[in-house]
A and B are shown apart, each in its own frame.
Chain A
Amino acid sequence: MTFRARMAAFLPPLLPLILSICVAETAVHMAWVPSYLIPAPSEVFHSLLDDRRELALAAWETLSSALVGLLISFAAGTVFSVALSSSDLARRAFYPYAVFFQTVPIISIAPLLVIWFGFGRPTVIASAAIVSVFPIIASTLLGLKSTEPSLVDLFKLYSATGRQTLLMLKIPFALPQIFSGLRIASGLAVVGAIVGEFIGGGGLGSVADSARTQQRIDRVFAAVLISSLLGIVLVGAVNLVSSLSLGSWHTSERKSS
């Protein structure tokens, strides 16, 4: 990519950001909005710099909890989906509960998690896992069920075992869907971790919560900024793994067809 092409790609999304920073800075300085509602971007920047050690530590704690939660939901979600995809009866019996799981607001079961897992990391990890498991189940199931029928016939023709059909056909065929589920789940895992931290303590969730009680709106904003960055980092990591494992066939196939 040439410099011009790079600028053409990055400038459009950058402009509104720069513009809104300028507007916010001006608005606070001119006292159009009270600074206890919206902090001046420069104050947020100062807060990021001054508390960088503490924020970095909290960010790492949140990220690692989100990551562990995501791994748990990925493992559990995949096993669950494989089990459901292999039996129509099992799917009819259990899928509604998977949907139910998604509709329960995490914030309402977070106190329960504290009762079960106590204050600290286990609650945070459980919260991240619960929030991120449904997209994994939904998209993995869809992927496992959309295998090309003639390829299934081909496997039947050579009397393939269920295990061969699953490992050599259904899972590879579902990989693009599995990755798109994982992409959604990775953003949600960060959300789940932060909600868990609000109640269970630790990480950026705690930083934001205690800054709120101290009326440090600039620190709240700093924590929010970093937590959304964490989401982007996690989604980016999934994208990287996805393009590494699908690059040779899936994306190039999209290009040619």
Chain B
Amino acid sequence: MNLDSHPDKSKSGAAVVGEEISRAFTGTGLVLDRISFQIRPGEFVALLGPSGSGKSSLLRLIAGLDRADTGRLAIETIDGALSRGFVFQEPTLMPWRTVLRNTTLPLELEGWSRDSAKARAEEELRRVRLAEFGARYPHELSGGMKMRNSVARALTTRPNLLLLDEPFAALDEPTRHGLQMQLREIWTALRMTVLFVTHSVMEAVFLADRIIVLSHRPARIILDESIILPPIRSTALRTSIEYVNEVRRISGAVPAVVEAL
């Protein structure tokens, strides 16, 4: 099976530019208040904010699942073909499909042939270390495995923009830590642009190279900082002085966020 015969949509990340984006919902009122930002191709950015701050709303706008009331959102890729991957808070797998068939879903929707879809899905399942579980059903998997399945599904189209909405929040700590390292490895290998929504400063600092902090509703950007840590994020980093210092620096800059946790 020659995987290269199928054209890859992307080999590089997308750039995301937002200008003065506002969004209000009936009932909740203004959620996003003139948000402007620039995300460069291949960046790993954590979007940090308290619960209900509108970070998920912003992510949905970028995913194309919702539209801004005012402002401009532009997503640009080098070759013009945009492919987005989205990982939801819940694994959102289809219970009647096996792990493999859940993973091929985006490719089926895009009209790939069965064989090439299967080959690509198996490749992504290997990447998240679920290769032996392709024939299982979601209810036979643990919470962490379901989430890895969900990540594999988002990777099958080789997105140049990967959006994750608090994907690991419901998992136990060892599983969460394992998945964080896996995600960072995946990003190192594929170099797509990653936008990771979280309410945890520690998770944001461990994963990202840059953190954008949103205020309470209506959300505005109150901090936009680079994280200065080595590119390879290992278990040892979690107890290192540099990591703790970065967590302290970000937490100190956003006291409201720390309180809201």
Contacts and interface: CB of A to CB of B under 8 A. Distances in A.
| Mutual binders A and B | yes
Contacts of B172: none
Nearest to A165: B109
B151 to A, nearest CB: 13
Contact of B95 (A150, A155, A157, A249): A249
Interface string A17-51: 00000000000000000000000000000000000
Interface in B89-144: 89-90, 92, 94-96, 105-106, 108-110, 137-140
A158 interface: yes
Nearest to B65: A153
A150 B91 CA distance: 9
Contact of B92 (A150, A158, A246): A150
B96 A172 contact: yes
A182 to B, nearest CB: 17
Given A249-B139, A252-B139, A253-B139, A154 B92 contact: yes
A184 interface: no
Interface string A170-201: 00110100000000000000000000000000
B64 interface: yes
B88 interface: yes
B139 A169 contact: no
Interface residues of A, number: 25
B110 A153 contact: no
Interface string A147-168: 0101101111111100010001
A59 to B, nearest CB: 36
Interface string A223-257: 00000000000000000000000101110110011
A53 B83 CA distance: 68
Interface string B128-172: 000000000111100000000000000001000000000000000
A42 to B, nearest CB: 51
Contacts of A169: 94
Contacts of A246: 96
B94 A257 contact: no
A154 B96 contact: no
A172 B94 contact: yes
B109 A249 contact: no
Interface residues of B, number: 23
B94 A151 contact: yes
Interface in B39-84: 60, 63-65, 84
Contacts of A168: 105, 108-109
A172 B97 CA distance: 10
Nearest to B93: A151
A250 B95 contact: yes
B96 A250 contact: yes
A252 B137 contact: yes
Contacts of B105: 154, 158, 168
Contact of B90 (A150, A156, A164, A252): A150
B57 to A, nearest CB: 13
Interface string A130-156: 000000000000000000101101111
Given A157-B63, A157-B65, A253 B95 contact: yes
Scoring B64, B88, B105, B109 by chain A CB atoms within 10 A of each residue's CB, the highest score goes to B109
B86 interface: yes
Given A249-B96, A257-B139, A150 B88 contact: yes
Nearest to B84: A157
Given A172-B94, A172-B96, A249 B88 contact: no
Contacts of A159: 109
A43 to B, nearest CB: 51
Interface of B: 60, 63-65, 84, 86, 88-90, 92, 94-96, 105-106, 108-110, 137-140, 157
8 contacts: A154-B92, A154-B105, A157-B63, A157-B64, A160-B109, A172-B94, A250-B95, A253-B95
